[in-house]
Amino acid sequence: MNRVNPAHIAILLLAFMAFFTFKLSGAKAELANEQALYQETLDVSTQLKGLILAYGDKDSVKKSIKRVLDQSSLKSANIEEKTSASGVVLSAPSLDKIALDSLLSKILNGSYNVASLEIKRINDERASLEMEIKW
């Protein structure tokens, strides 16, 4: 009566083994899910790093805007540049079509964060411009 039946021990061991096998399969599924989430986070962080390199560097944006405005086709256009802590505002009360086209092609084809752009037609040959670029 005081002895333990070996069949009871075998059944108990089989129950433990089934329980831990079930727990292990759940852990494997959770690991696969976490790996997929990690890969997605890694992809998003890589894209974010690329965007920060393209748009976030304040000094390179200032230099490239200065380079655009120093071009010969835009020097005579009298474009005013107002720099603030959050960005730069470019304004021109009267700009001819060629200078406007040149400026917009350089700015819109570059990697700038254009926050606002307002162009008003004065006549067939001239327009006014107000543009805000943020960094």
Say if residue 65 is in the same domain as residue 122.
yes
- Answering whether pTM is above 0.75, one says no
Q: Please, are residues 131 and 107 in contact by the beta-carbon 8 Å criterion?
A: yes
Say if residue 47 is in the same domain as residue 65.
no
Say if residue 76 is in the same domain as residue 129.
yes
Q: Please, are residues 87 and 56 in contact by the beta-carbon 8 Å criterion?
A: no
pLDDT in tens, the chain (135 residues): 588 889 999 999 999 999 999 999 999 999 999 999 999 999 999 999 888 877 777 888 888 889 988 888 888 888 999 998 888 999 999 888 889 999 999 998 888 889 999 999 989 899 999 999 987
Say if residue 62 is in the same domain as residue 126.
yes
Nearest to 87 by CA among 28, 40, 130, 35: 130
* Conformational region of residue 131, where left means phi above 0, alpha means psi within -120 to 50, and beta covers everything else: beta
Total number of domains in the chain: 2
Say if residue 81 is in the same domain as residue 124.
yes
Cα dihedral across residues 96, 98, 104, 110: positive or negative: negative
